[in-house]
């Protein structure tokens, strides 16, 4: 029996001709062997509805010639790729409307691997100033170690961004809406600027989600998501995804393989499961967040509310033009002090005090203590991140219950805890 027929027979689960291969496959196996190989030989007459988890580090081949052929596929070694991961990647690429995507062990892993894949010593990055704290730290403290310099610019000042571009600039790095102040970038202008100077444009679109915005439609080259957040939606895995052209993703994949920053197949399966409910979850989060933002904007103990679909938002018109909804994140500043903000966050019941975001459950955090704690107070001030900020990740609970929880928690503003005497 030739190799091709043997592979086909294996795939179809057919009985093989009488040979040592066929004999070993169909005779009753000893318990020790059956414990390892028994389930692998089950015939599957009907395909599974749910994507199988290929929880394996490596894949069997017939001979060394085949071994060479599969090295560029997802059935060689899971650091290179895995069928479960491929399904997740193709799903994200389809949702974003681009050619390809790759998964990573975390959102930061996706960002760092991508930048190291596409840039080299002597290159220069123009990045907006108010980005996630971990990214700011990577740009300002880690990239200089490998000879890559970054110039930080105002998020919405496109003239300043243009002036910052040098002959050795290779990338324009964006985030929209931003964390935690929810500023919105004019994606059309940003993409046009990048193309005019032959730069790779990359955006962290985690807060936007592929449901509310599609950066590729405006000409952005690479879209990154911390899949830990909205894509998975259940606070039960850590992952990152980068989507874009096949040409760029092939370069990124080569570096990902070398660095080993791959996603585990079981986590990929959880991501696939989360993606199936992404649209319905985000729709409910959009509705809830809009109501929460409108409530907070009218509250006497709230100084300012940051939410793209409020008319008071400075980029409201841009947000309405390029986003289908305002998203599930709301940041507000208490009319008080940093201590007041802490007390409010700790007084909530339905909003769980925890870092991260995007899950079905509502979360609350203080940005200066979590997402932006790893950078200096001076950097935070330049970003507009202050101690009075409270960041909400609005979940899918009943909006009335969430508003009642906020109303009660805001009573903590201006109160002082006293220590009993005697």
Query: So which residues are the catalytic ones?
Result: 79, 132, 204, 229
Q: How far is CA 422 from CA 52, 415, 419, in A?
A: 65, 22, 10
The stretches of 129-264 forming alpha helices (DSSP H) are 133-137, 158-164, 187-196, 209-212, 246-259
As a whole number of angstroms, the distance between CA 22 and CA 27 comes to 8
- Burial, 9: exposed, middle or buried (Cβ in 10 Å; 0-12, 13-18, 19+)? middle
CB contact at 8 A, 325 and 301: no
As a whole number of angstroms, the distance between CA 181 and CA 372 comes to 12
Say how many C-beta atoms besides its own lie within 10 A of residue 320's C-beta. Answer: 16
The two tokens of residue 38 are 């028994």
244, β-bridge pairs: 100
As a whole number of angstroms, the distance between CA 41 and CA 11 comes to 10
Give DSSP secondary structure letters for 43-75: --SS--SSPP----SB---SSHHHHHHGGGSSS
Give DSSP secondary structure letters for 301-349: TEEEEE-TTSTTSTTHHHHHHH-SS--SEEEEEESS-HHHHHHHHHH-S
Q: Give the closest residue to 323 by CA, choosing from 177, 132, 174, 130.
A: 177
DSSP 79: T
As a whole number of angstroms, the distance between CA 4 and CA 298 comes to 70
The two tokens of residue 261 are 């920053």
Q: Give the closest residue to 417 by CA, choosing from 333, 339, 336, 335.
A: 339
**What does the chain come to in residues?**
422
Say how many C-beta atoms besides its own lie within 10 A of residue 95's C-beta. Answer: 20
DSSP 171: E
């Amino acid at each position: 029996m030739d190799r091709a027929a043997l592979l086909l027979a294996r795939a179809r689960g057919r009985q093989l001709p009488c040979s040592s291969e066929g004999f070993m496959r169909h005779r009753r196996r000893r318990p020790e062997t059956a414990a390892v190989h028994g389930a692998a030989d089950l015939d599957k007459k009907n395909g599974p509805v749910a994507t199988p988890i290929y929880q394996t580090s490596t894949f069997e081949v017939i001979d060394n010639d085949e071994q060479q052929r599969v090295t560029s596929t997802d059935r060689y070694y899971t650091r290179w790729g895995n069928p479960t991961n491929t399904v997740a990647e193709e799903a994200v690429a389809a949702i974003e409307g681009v050619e390809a995507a790759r998964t990573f062990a975390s959102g930061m892993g996706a960002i760092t691997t991508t930048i190291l894949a596409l840039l080299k010593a002597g290159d220069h990055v123009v990045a907006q100033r108010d980005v996630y704290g971990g990214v700011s730290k990577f740009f300002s403290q880690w990239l200089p170690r490998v000879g890559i310099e970054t110039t930080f610019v105002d998020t919405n000042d496109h003239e300043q961004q243009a002036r910052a571009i040098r002959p050795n600039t290779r990338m324009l790095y964006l985030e929209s809406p931003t964390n935690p102040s929810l500023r919105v970038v004019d994606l059309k202008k940003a993409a046009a600027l990048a193309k005019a100077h032959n730069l790779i444009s990359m955006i962290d679109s985690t807060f936007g989600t592929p449901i509310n915005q599609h950066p590729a439609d405006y000409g952005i080259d690479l879209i990154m998501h911390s899949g830990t957040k909205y894509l998975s939606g259940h606070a039960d895995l850590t992952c990152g995804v980068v989507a874009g052209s096949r040409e760029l993703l092939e370069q990124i994949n080569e570096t990902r393989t070398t660095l080993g920053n791959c996603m585990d197949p079981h986590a990929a399966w959880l991501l696939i499961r989360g993606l199936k409910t992404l649209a319905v979850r985000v729709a409910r989060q959009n509705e809830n967040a809009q109501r929460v933002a409108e409530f907070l904007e009218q509250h006497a103990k709230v100084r300012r509310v940051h939410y793209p679909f409020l008319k008071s938002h400075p980029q409201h018109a841009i947000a309405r033009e390029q986003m289908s909804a305002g998203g599930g994140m709301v940041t507000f500043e208490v009319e008080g002090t940093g201590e007041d903000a802490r007390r409010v966050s700790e007084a909530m019941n339905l909003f769980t005090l925890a870092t991260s975001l995007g899950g079905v459950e509502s979360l609350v955090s203080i940005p200066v203590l979590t997402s932006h704690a790893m950078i200096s107070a001076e950097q935070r001030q330049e970003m507009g991140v202050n101690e009075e900020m409270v960041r909400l990740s609005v979940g899918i609970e009943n909006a009335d219950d969430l508003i009642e929880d906020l109303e009660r928690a805001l009573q903590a503003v201006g109160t002082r805890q006293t220590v009993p005497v005697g």
